[in-house]
Chains A and B, each alone.
Chain A
């Protein structure tokens, strides 16, 4: 007697379960969301461990966020640079900070940005913003 209602209940719950699963798959968030943007910026500005940066870069890549993944990998690579390479970049940074040519400083900032040095690029852009237009 109880078998038929149990079967109906079972079929209904399984069916709704499948429907929920399908809906969740269909509504899966893709691309950059405000939460992901916050996470990305927090990683970019505060995460110093290359291993964690590489791991998160993989996760971003899986979500189709290739640009962000590349930036995180570049930043991780910066932290792993040998001392001589860092010293070279440091010298370029110091020379740019002594320049009074707005365009030249902005161009150097762009080079640092392309290389993954977001902090150095931001500091140079701030300095460039106070130089008279060339």
Chain B
């Protein structure tokens, strides 16, 4: 059974990852606590404590996260789910917070087959989000262009695109290691210099 502190921790992680339901729940807890609900007060206290003790990772230049104990814990959590049923969920929650560390953990961890991609895709609630995710995976060689236009989408779809870009980049790293695959799938400029 999930305890209150565990539930609060999960809520914060989900909210930081962009889950609007989690954000709304935290707001409701705050409102209820201010209105005098004892349970809500306890939850709010746990949420506040967790946020204080675990500040969100600071995004540095080019969305590359800073290596820290927290990042190590995210990497460990992601790695522990390789081959497990929870892989899709942990990818959706953790990957956008991890920047390049998440991409590399995935690229160096598990073969991103079409089945795995489909599993991750199924984690998204609506068909629109699933399509957005799949589009981003398939066009990860144009991540910069896609990210520029992401602000035009609603939050949920934009989040799906963001996860798709990370998964797609990880898959492209795996592919570029194969001898017959052109380098252009990860960098046009590098391909001009090295591809025959």
Interface residues, chain A, with chain B CB atoms under 8 Å away: 45, 48, 75, 78-79, 83, 86-87, 89-91, 93-94, 97-98, 100, 116-120, 122-123, 126-127, 129-133
On whether the beta carbons of A120 and B187 are closer than 8 Å, the reply is yes
Contact present for A97 and B67 (CB under 8 Å): no
Evaluate contact between B72 and A90: CB separation under 8 angstroms.
no
Known A-B contacts A126-B62, A129-B64, A129-B100; the reply to A93 vs B189 at CB < 8 A is no
Nearest Cβ on chain A to B168's Cβ, whole angstroms: 15
Q: Note all chain A residues with C-beta closer than 8 A to B101.
A: 130, 132
B79 to chain A, nearest CB (A): 11
Are A100 and B108 touching (Cβ within 8 A)? yes
Decide: B193 and A130 in contact? CB cutoff 8 A: no
A88 → B minimal CB distance (Å): 10
A123 touches B100 (CB 8 A): no
Which residues of A are found within 8 Å of B99, using beta-carbon distances?
A: 130
Partner of B196, one of A75, A83, A117, A120: A83
Chain B interface (Cβ < 8 Å from any Cβ of A): 62, 64, 67, 72, 75, 99-105, 108, 173, 176-177, 179, 183, 186-196
Let me know if A126 and B190 touch, CB within 8 A.
Answer: no
**Is B177 a contact of A94 with CB atoms below 8 Å?**
yes
Residues of B within 8 A of A116 (CB): 193
9 other A-B residue contacts (CB within 8 Å) besides A90-B183, A93-B194, A117-B190: A79-B192, A91-B179, A97-B176, A100-B108, A117-B193, A119-B187, A129-B100, A130-B104, A131-B104
How far is A94 from B113 in the complex, measured between Cα atoms in Å?
20
Query: Which residues in B have their C-beta under 8 angstroms from that of A83?
Result: 196
User: Which of the residues A79, A117, A130 comes within 8 Å of B103, measured between beta carbons?
Assistant: A130
Min CB–CB distance A67 → chain B (angstroms): 19
Can you list 23 residue pairs at the A/B interface with Cβ under 8 Å?
Answer: A48-B192, A75-B193, A79-B192, A89-B194, A90-B196, A91-B179, A93-B190, A94-B176, A94-B177, A94-B179, A97-B176, A97-B177, A97-B186, A98-B177, A117-B194, A119-B191, A120-B183, A120-B193, A123-B187, A127-B104, A129-B62, A130-B99, A130-B104
Assembled-state Cα–Cα distance A131/B107 (Å): 11
Q: Report the bound CA distance from A127 to B191 in whole Å.
A: 16
Q: Which residue, B75, B99, B187, B195, has most C-beta atoms of chain A within 10 A?
A: B187
Output the least CB separation between A82 and chain B (Å). 9
Q: In the bound complex, how far is the Cα of B188 from the Cα of A89, in angstroms?
A: 16
B180 to chain A, nearest CB (A): 11
Which residues of chain B come closer than 8 Å to A78, judged between CB atoms? Answer: 193
Bound CA–CA A2/B43 (angstroms) = 100
Q: How far is the CA of A78 from the CA of B190 in the complex (A)?
A: 11
Residues of B with C-beta under 8 A to A93: 183, 190, 194
- The interface residues of chain A lying within 8 Å CB-to-CB of B190 are 93, 117, 119-120, 122-123
* Cβ-defined contact, B177 with A86, below 8 A: no
Q: What is the CA–CA distance of A117 and B193 in the complex, to the nearest angstrom?
A: 6
Q: CB-nearest residue of chain B relative to A90?
A: B194
List A contacts of B173 (CB < 8 A). 97, 127
B189's partner among A45, A87, A89, A131 (CB-CB below 8 A) is A45
